[in-house]
A and B are shown apart, each in its own frame.
Chain A
Amino acid sequence: MTTALPLAVKEETNSGIWSWLTTVDHKKIGTMYGVSGVVFFIIAGFEALLIRTQLAVPNGTIIDADTYNQLFTMHALMMIFLGVMPMGAAFFNWLVPLMIGARDVAFPRLNAFSFWTFLSGALLLTSSWIFGDAPDVGWFAYAPLTEKAYTVGQAMDFYAVGLLLLGVASTVASLNFVVTIINMRAPGMSWFRMPVFVWMIFVVAWLLILSLPVLTIGLVQIYFDRNFDTNFFNPMGGGDPLLWQHLFWIFGHPEVYVLILPSMGIVSEVLPTFSRKPIFGYSAIVFAGLSIAVLGFAVWSHHMFTTGLGPVPSIVFSASTMAIGVPTGVKIFNWLATMWGGSIRFNSASMFSIGFLALFTIGGISGVMHASPPIDTQQQDTYFIVAHIHYVLFGGAVFGIFSGFYYWWPKFFGRFLDEKLGQIHFWLFFIGMNLTFFPMHFLGVQGMPRRIYRYDADLGWETWNIVATLGSYLLGVGMLVFLYAVWKAYKSEPDAPDNPWDAPTLEWATSSPPPEHDFDVVPVVEARDPLWYDRDNNITREKTKDEHIHLPPPSYYPLLISIGLLVGGIGMLTTLMISALGVLLVFYAIWGWVLEPTS
């Protein structure tokens, strides 16, 4: 274990609440994304448990219809925007600079701004619960339900303004990471030596950069419809509800790849390490990721087959949807071939990755079924769809994220998550997940619609509903086990070596946890798996620290701009005078930001 030499400057600002509020360090920002992501993941999971409890037996009486509508809408919104996306952001904030051998991202203050704006949007959206007026029309908020005539309170204004703020945060973060990946790579870290995880984040960032502005316009139009009496989506006034569906899904379909690709990247790092083999077909995986990015923009209307698009668009979108299964399949086979013939170590990290492979494949197969319009028409709005999305999002994205937690925890915090607890956690999640979501395939085929808050006893749905509910409790227990493992690690002494797993990528070259400046010496990369290259060629790298490491000083202006945006958002929900105050604060903070010395 090498201990990083302490930095002479700014040592005193390294702890305490003020250091977190003003930090521009990608590692601290990553931790804050992770903590918020896990907290919101737990809240959203609790919402799901309430839903499953209500549906456990026919004619459930625990929750009334209105609350139920709010629960399933907020469950989806929080899981997607406040749970899985920030947990993915936690990984890419922590890992991208480390993996490409950089000392930070290209724009450290902008990175802090992204996080604080994310938190502002998250608080604004979830505060709708406090006012008893949470969004209740489904996460994709189809018009005209979002119009004033149908949603009387302010629920949809919370939705529009909250997602606008979250969109700003994600766009800015994505711009930052694209520039970082293009421009901040260490000497020798050419494009095709980059870890697959970095490639996947590059793709995710582009997807967000090009899809979020479209959602932004849709949200602005919802806001105008509700507050300024326009009729963008109101058919009574000449508007077009389908316009919303198009705008939403042009964003919404790339968004599902935004959720899954970071996990695919994690799995592509974990499997080679624990198979003790380089990844099979590196370029095939990378190009599959890139083609997913391109095709991902050409499939959105498969969410809209039942709107009557007509035969030609249906055929085109059906074909493009089937086509996008090909690159995804390429990746699955690459991961399998990576494990093939490898000397596999089974532990919590690799088990979650293998679980990802199995469960994501099931979700992928049910997904390809929906590519066929006649089948989709049968399955639309049934539990079959609910089963599909949870296999790809829970079995896929969430399993990948937990695999990453077990894999990188020693690197992030210098402590291992308990292996035994990790395996208990894995089996609880794996069994619980299949018990919860596999029966939903049957329920869907039997005709149970999604988003109903109760059902009659004689429909033959009782057995699978109670099974699903019991499975969901197992997931809850699994989460408690994970939290206990985190607590245990937090209380333990840091004992993680630099490279405990004998992993090949650059983040394992520095100490665990990494020093504030990431690397004592900026690494020079000579091969795709740099640490394995060094190991196999008996190369020992110089460990003496660079003399002059320049790190940007902390700044409170990013937080200030985000507060300004939050005040602006609150104004959009109350009176526009408050928004004006927010805008003034934003201008003041930008002024200070520009004039602030950074060296």
Chain B
Amino acid sequence: MSEQAHSVTGIDSRKLLMWIFLASDCLFFGALISTYMIFKGNINNPPYPTDRIVNGEFFHGLLNIPLTSASTFVLLMSSVAMVLAVYGAQNNNLKMMKGWLISTIGLGIFFLLFQVYEFRHFLHEGLGISTNQFGASFYLMTGFHGVHVGIGVIILISLLFGTFRRNSLGPDTGFHIETAGLYWHFVDIVWIVIFTLVYLMPY
């Protein structure tokens, strides 16, 4: 994997690539979040994200804030686990690294399962992707975020299998886990923004 030993700045090229890719990804989510914000409050057919009375008729809101707060907490804890896995890798503590890597993966999958549950629940309540502007922008934005978490889980599982094969830390394992960690934390931070804008701000 060391196609690029040479480095003028002393920063490994692969880590630099990850940082710049994340800059690009900021604009990716920026466009999705802007779309959501532009259509925010601009819907005229049910189901609505929050409780609403239209022409004397009461509509239940879709968003379940306590439940999503719990899943947000799970995702944030996965970041903590990720930090501890990197710490283990950097201190040559294979057991610690594996344990926290498995925890990160588990928490990530838990978050994804919650998202599947939420999507199914919304569909059941009648919110399809083409039902109204909330559905379209919500599914697109959180869907792409879910894909990012999914890719992160796949990367972490691959790294975990790499350590099983070897049963010791390879020369680059710590570095790989640290770089994957950058991606993982970024995806978490994006979720904090999405959670705030979708669930905490009044629609």
Contact = CB atoms under 8 A, between A and B. Distances in A.
A594 B24 CA distance: 23
A131 interface: no
Given A238-B42, A240-B39, A598-B1, A230 B16 contact: no
Contact of A238 (B24, B30, B43): B43
A224 B137 CA distance: 11
Contact of B4 (A107, A218, A228, A232): A107
A217 B32 contact: yes
Interface in A196-241: 209-214, 216-218, 220-221, 224, 228-232, 237-240
B196 interface: no
B167 interface: no
A250 B28 CA distance: 12
| Residue among A176, A237, A247 with max Cβ neighbours from chain B (10 Å) | A237
A446 interface: no
Contacts of B51: none
A238 B3 CA distance: 50
30 contacts: A106-B13, A106-B17, A107-B4, A107-B17, A109-B3, A178-B20, A179-B16, A179-B17, A183-B6, A184-B8, A210-B23, A210-B24, A211-B27, A213-B25, A213-B27, A217-B31, A217-B32, A218-B31, A220-B140, A221-B140, A224-B129, A229-B130, A230-B130, A230-B140, A231-B130, A238-B39, A243-B38, A247-B31, A250-B31, A599-B2
Contacts of A175: 17, 20-21, 24
B16 A238 contact: no
A552 interface: yes
Contacts of A210: 23-24, 27
B149 to A, nearest CB: 17
Interface in B163-179: none
B55 interface: no
A182 B9 contact: yes
A598 B185 CA distance: 29
Nearest to A216: B28
Main secondary structure of the interface of B (DSSP, over half): helix
Given A107-B13, A179-B17, A183-B16, A214 B136 contact: no
Interface in A170-186: 171, 175-176, 178-179, 182-185
A108 interface: yes
Nearest to B135: A230
B53 interface: no
B35 interface: yes
| Residue among A107, A109, A211, A230 with max Cβ neighbours from chain B (10 Å) | A230
Interface string A76-117: 000000000000000000000000001000111100000000
Interface residues of A, number: 42
Given A175-B24, A209-B24, A243-B38, A183 B31 contact: no
A221 B13 CA distance: 33
A232 B133 CA distance: 7
A524 B96 CA distance: 45
Interface of B: 1-4, 6-9, 11, 13, 16-17, 20-21, 23-25, 27-28, 30-32, 35, 38-39, 42-44, 129-130, 132-133, 136-137, 140, 158
| Residue among B16, B25, B130, B136 with max Cβ neighbours from chain A (10 Å) | B136
Nearest to B45: A238
B129 to A, nearest CB: 6
A132 B2 CA distance: 47
Contacts of B27: 210-211, 213-214
| Residue among B20, B23, B38, B39 with max Cβ neighbours from chain A (10 Å) | B20
A212 B32 contact: no
A599 B30 CA distance: 39
**Closest 6 A/B residue pairs (Cβ):** A213-B28, A217-B31, A229-B130, A230-B136, A213-B27, A106-B13
A224 B20 contact: no
A217 B140 CA distance: 9
A229 B3 CA distance: 45
| Residue among B8, B9, B11, B21 with max Cβ neighbours from chain A (10 Å) | B8
A234 to B, nearest CB: 10
Given A217-B35, A598-B2, A231 B136 contact: yes
Contacts of B42: 238
A122 B23 CA distance: 26
A179 B13 contact: yes
B8 A106 contact: no
A248 B86 CA distance: 40
A214 B25 CA distance: 10
Given A217-B32, A598-B3, A228 B129 contact: yes
A238 B42 CA distance: 8
A304 to B, nearest CB: 15
A230 B7 contact: no
B153 to A, nearest CB: 14
A503 to B, nearest CB: 24
Given A179-B20, A209-B23, A232-B136, A184 B129 contact: no
Interface string A575-599: 0000000000000000000100011
Nearest to B139: A230
B136 A183 contact: no
A247 B35 CA distance: 9
A489 B17 CA distance: 39
A240 B130 contact: no
B41 to A, nearest CB: 11
Nearest to A178: B20
Given A220-B140, A224-B136, A228-B130, A183 B13 contact: yes
Contacts of A183: 4, 6-9, 11, 13, 16
A220 B32 CA distance: 10
A313 to B, nearest CB: 15
Contacts of A230: 129-130, 136, 140
